[in-house]
Structure 1
Amino acid sequence: MNFQDMSFDQRYRAVQSRDRRFDGQFVLGVKTTGIYCRPSCPARTPKPENVQFFRASAAAHAAGFRACKRCLPEAVPGSPEWNLHGDVAGRAMRLINDGVIDQQGVSGLAQQLGYSTRHLTRILREETGAGPLALARAHRAQTARVLLTQTALPISEIAFSAGFSSIRQFNDTIREVYDLSPQQVRAHGHRTAQTDTAMVDIGLSYREPIDLPGLFAWFAARAISGLEHADAWSYARAVNLPGGPAWFRVYTPPDSRSDLRLQARVTEMQDLPILMARVRRLFDLDADPVAVDTVLTSLPAIRPLVAAVPGIRVAGCMDPHELLVRTMIGQQISVPAARTILTRITTGLGEPAPEFALGLTHMFPTMEAIAERGSTVLRGPKARRNAVGNAAGTMATGQLRLGLGDDPTEQRKALLALKGVGPWTADYVRMRVTGDPDVFLIDDGALRAGARRAGLPADTSDLLAWSTHSSPWRSYLTTHLWRAPTVPAQPPEGDPS
């Protein structure tokens, strides 16, 4: 249940029971103290007449509340609601977390969404209780808190890394939000000892349960040699960010397999919040697994799959343009075959990885390189080679721009206009780029094989109609059916790459 669908009494009961499932989905302001808390705060529950609920922490800031020092409401996963809704507010929130306002201002955000600045501000205030600048400011404060409490970075460097334009602005915001100076926030932290001060090593929050082995196995099966490395408990890769190449590794420490951490190095420190946000989306860390699993377990045929793999996640992506190329190459061939072709393209056309990208050799090629020289390394049917080159060319020239702030319907329409892109490719890209939780890849051979294994309808129309019972979580159903142990009788029409 999301914030908008909950009554005051339902929210208050969640607070009374200290239900951690709602942490990050809303905060409560206590009028008598001027403090806002997460729903699971261990402090004594305030009287109902003293409580005011906010959909976003930025709205609580704007109303004059400061963050609770006991429950740290900023130290929780983000709201899953912004993926659930493909509306303007949801798209705007994803772009704000991706640093668009810090790089392009509110006007740049509005332009990407196709609205005027005034209209966008009105929408966000109505939906979240705060305008775009306040939302971006809250995100900067959250990023700064993570870096202050978990890294040894100099405080002045943290200020600019988190997106603040000046030390004074940074100090004022931290004091206003947390009622502490940056030095005092740092003193409350638990920093990990690090020998390499240029490398950031921070914890990643998520809602339990989570299928971490399944996520790492997914990335390991599709890892491009030289660009990525994955094993049973980690995933690392090189990626291009606005300020230059970056490297990151998501891993679980041997002494705590339930802990999830991020190691990272970036060319420009201002890219660090962008990288952190994209990694969260890549691992679907803001999902609400209890809400998903509750719906899926209501379906008798799927209940055993959920019992075997609770907390399944839908993999996102780091670069939407890269994902389209990878998906087009992976159509109608096996995962190992696609991986071989993609490795050839990466080593043949990609720039060298930075020296700090431990164990990696190449970056994924730019769209310009694939469009101009892809034919020299691509193998396979001519129609597919031409389709990949054409798609790369349209992205290189800006005729096609894919991003996490896209309107899902418009993105699908733009993708289907490309030669060589069919419904499976368009929907697969939509699922992984925009985070749409309700995509059911009915034309996917591996999905249909899993459906047969689960005893679901064999007829495509009947299966599609049956899938509506799992809405709005059909992307998670799709992932479960991929995981169902089965061997397709026929080569899949599309195999996730």
Structure 2
Amino acid sequence: MQTATHLDREHCVRAVQSRDARFDGWFYTAVLTTRIYCRPSCPVVPPKPRNMMFYPSAAACQQAGFRACKRCRPDTSPGSPEWNRRADLVARAMRLITDGVVDREGVSGLAARLGYSTRQVERQLLAELGAGPLALARAQRAQTARLLIETTALPMTEIAFAAGFSSVRAFNDTVREVFALSPSELRRRVPAGRAVGDSTPGTLSLRLPFRAPLNPSNLFGHLAATAVPGVEEWLPHSPNGGGGASSGAYRRTLRLPYGHGIVSLSPRPDHIACRLTLSDLRDLAVAIGRCRRMLDLDADPVAVDDRLRADPLLAPLVERAPGRRVPRTVDEAEFAVRAVLGQQVSTAAARTHAARLVTAHGKPLDDPEGGLTHLFPSPEALAGIDPETLAMPRTRRTTFTTLVGQLADGSLHLGVESDWAEARARLLALPGFGPWTVDVIAMRALGDPDAFLPTDLGIRRAAGGLGLPSTPAALTARAEAWRPWRAYAVQYLWATDSHSINFLPA
């Protein structure tokens, strides 16, 4: 297998020689003499350039016969930013693979969700990533297996099936092939003093990596300010103890393919501390992927900030607090419903409306470590509501019932596989959906990094204060220079206003 043609060999060599962590997850370095593959920032002495090969995915390295480096652990790199900034076939396929679709539905199910033939999907993934969907899913299973081996005391048989393997033999063979160690040897290598297992069944403590810089106040502040009681909460101190702002934790419930979960996420200087409690461990990889997506951890903040810093009126905001992320969601349908509930009302009123729905129609669950009480209601549960019981204007009731009806019957899809342009068009065709509602859903649920909110009152107020145009048309014209990162510009502009979360336009 040849190195993927879209990788620039000269730039890759320079990144490896300078151990540049910004490129971790962008590509992988395979060393011909040792037959191992590494992340660009691997701390060992870089190999000679003639002994380097470069691949766009860990799966491609594995298919070519290379094994993961035991020092830099390339399987724990942040994900490639490409899959969260694009909406083409390959990016949508990668988001679905991360969400476990291949393991649950097979390659045919992946292709059906994308609206392409199996052959087309395989051909495009091979061309860009050097590996097909089965190999990419296998690499993800290997990473999940390693997490479970190193962070739990589960028997290997249970780990094999929780990680998505069809047999213990396939689990053993894959772990040996990828890591050059047996599962038992991997567990024995866990450093002394780092406890394996957790006192709570089904609970794991993990570290979620990200590319620096990251501004946690923007990210966690927004999630905390809009948290729906019963589904989300901010604890000033994490359940694991400690003090200070860095020990605070954002917690929420998760609806997952095989069951449900509760996640606690706490910002740390070089990672996000993640504590997951799952009713079914087969949901581990999916839960991690959704949390990473919600926190926008696979973003490339250097590329984003460089583009926005080029505008002299935005530059001071970027310099003062670089690394802002776009707070997203773990459930696209949930966010769309919440966006409708927030039309024409304050943040506090939107939270109150959502909390009432949760109490009346959400699925109850237990939370021994905090105050979470329910899963957010599914579209199917919400579709059965009597509209007359909703405390909102009649026109917004129509908007609400139309949205949940189409989400429930499958005529509207807002999942990770969504084509952003098509989803926007379908949303705009719904009664009561104006540009603001569609763009906030595109930004926070669909994940479009270029979504923009020129009619938002907070954005217009911030723009005027900075000397930017404040009328929607003029601001949109000025923001052309910020493409493809206008959603990040929104975060910088919102941060200038003490009342930065606005739910007024439709």
Shared fold per TM-score greater than 0.5: yes
Gap change, CA 1:376 and 1:148, over 3 Å in 2: farther
The whole-number CA distance in structure 1 between the counterparts of 2:368 and 2:90 is 37
The whole-number CA distance in structure 1 between the counterparts of 2:129 and 2:385 is 46
Alpha-carbon deviations, 1:230-254, whole Å to 9, x = none?
A: 14521111222121222111124xx
The whole-number CA distance in structure 1 between the counterparts of 2:503 and 2:277 is 38
1:86 corresponding residue in structure 2: 87
Contact 1:148–1:185 at 8 Å: present in 2 too? yes
Letter in 1 for 2:300: D
Deviation of residue 410 (structure 1)? 0.9
1:318 corresponding residue in structure 2: 330
Structure 2 residue 209 is matched with structure 1 residue 205: yes
Deviation of residue 393 (structure 1)? 1.1
Alpha-carbon deviations, 1:40-77, whole Å to 9, x = none?
A: 11222222222111011111111111111111111111
Alignment gaps of 5+ in structure 2 = 237-247
Structure 2 residue 241 is matched with structure 1 residue 248: no
- With the length of structure 1 as denominator, give the TM-score of the two structures: 0.94
Letter in 2 for 1:391: L
Please, which of 230, 238, 242 is the counterpart of residue 253 of structure 2? Answer: 238
Alpha-carbon deviations, 1:81-109, whole Å to 9, x = none?
A: 11122111001001000000010000000
For 1:4-403, list aligned pairs within 5 A.
Answer: 7-190=8-191, 191-192=194-195, 194-231=198-235, 233-252=248-267, 258-354=270-366, 358-373=370-385, 375-403=387-415
Q: CA RMSD in A?
A: 2.0
Contact 2:460–2:471 at 8 Å: present in 1 too? no
The whole-number CA distance in structure 2 between the counterparts of 1:366 and 1:198 is 24
Deviation of residue 291 (structure 1)? 1.6
Deviation of residue 6 (structure 1)? 5.3
The whole-number CA distance in structure 2 between the counterparts of 1:149 and 1:446 is 46
Contact 1:30–1:52 at 8 Å: present in 2 too? yes
Where 1:189 maps in the other structure, the secondary structure is coil
Gap change, CA 1:484 and 1:47, over 3 Å in 2: same
Where 1:74 maps in the other structure, the secondary structure is helix
Worse overlay, 368-377 or 12-21 = 368-377
Letter in 1 for 2:263: F
The whole-number CA distance in structure 1 between the counterparts of 2:55 and 2:227 is 41
The whole-number CA distance in structure 2 between the counterparts of 1:95 and 1:405 is 6
Gap change, CA 1:293 and 1:152, over 3 Å in 2: farther
Letter in 1 for 2:256: L
Alignment gaps of 5+ in structure 1 = none
Letter in 1 for 2:18: S
The whole-number CA distance in structure 2 between the counterparts of 1:487 and 1:197 is 41
Letter in 2 for 1:227: V
Deviation of residue 369 (structure 1)? 2.6
- With the length of structure 2 as denominator, give the TM-score of the two structures: 0.92
Contact 2:210–2:271 at 8 Å: present in 1 too? no
Identity of aligned pairs, percent?
46
Aligned pairs, how many?
A: 489
Letter in 2 for 1:220: A
Where 2:478 maps in the other structure, the secondary structure is helix
Contact 2:235–2:251 at 8 Å: present in 1 too? no
Alpha-carbon deviations, 1:109-135, whole Å to 9, x = none?
A: 000000000111001000111000000
Contact 2:262–2:277 at 8 Å: present in 1 too? yes
The whole-number CA distance in structure 2 between the counterparts of 1:187 and 1:442 is 55
The whole-number CA distance in structure 1 between the counterparts of 2:36 and 2:24 is 16
2:454 corresponding residue in structure 1: 442
Contact 2:202–2:281 at 8 Å: present in 1 too? no
Deviation of residue 227 (structure 1)? 1.5
Letter in 2 for 1:421: F
Where 2:385 maps in the other structure, the secondary structure is helix
1:468 corresponding residue in structure 2: 480
Letter in 2 for 1:150: T
Alpha-carbon deviations, 1:321-360, whole Å to 9, x = none?
A: 1111000111221111111111111112222124567422
Deviation of residue 180 (structure 1)? 0.8
Deviation of residue 141 (structure 1)? 1.1
The whole-number CA distance in structure 2 between the counterparts of 1:359 and 1:18 is 43
Where 2:76 maps in the other structure, the secondary structure is coil
The whole-number CA distance in structure 1 between the counterparts of 2:19 and 2:85 is 24
Deviation of residue 5 (structure 1)? 6.5
Letter in 2 for 1:205: P
Deviation of residue 439 (structure 1)? 1.2
The whole-number CA distance in structure 1 between the counterparts of 2:269 and 2:386 is 41
Gap change, CA 1:374 and 1:330, over 3 Å in 2: farther
1:408 corresponding residue in structure 2: 420
Letter in 2 for 1:316: R
Contact 1:161–1:273 at 8 Å: present in 2 too? no
Gap change, CA 1:473 and 1:4, over 3 Å in 2: farther
Contact 1:246–1:266 at 8 Å: present in 2 too? yes
Where 2:62 maps in the other structure, the secondary structure is helix
The whole-number CA distance in structure 2 between the counterparts of 1:390 and 1:38 is 47
Deviation of residue 418 (structure 1)? 1.3
Contact 1:450–1:486 at 8 Å: present in 2 too? no
Contact 2:202–2:279 at 8 Å: present in 1 too? no
Gap change, CA 1:350 and 1:455, over 3 Å in 2: same
Contact 1:153–1:197 at 8 Å: present in 2 too? no
Letter in 2 for 1:162: A
Where 1:307 maps in the other structure, the secondary structure is helix
Gap change, CA 1:231 and 1:456, over 3 Å in 2: farther
The whole-number CA distance in structure 1 between the counterparts of 2:389 and 2:226 is 19
Gap change, CA 1:378 and 1:204, over 3 Å in 2: same
The whole-number CA distance in structure 2 between the counterparts of 1:483 and 1:121 is 42
Where 1:373 maps in the other structure, the secondary structure is coil
Gap change, CA 1:351 and 1:357, over 3 Å in 2: farther
Deviation of residue 417 (structure 1)? 1.7
Letter in 2 for 1:14: A
Letter in 2 for 1:459: T
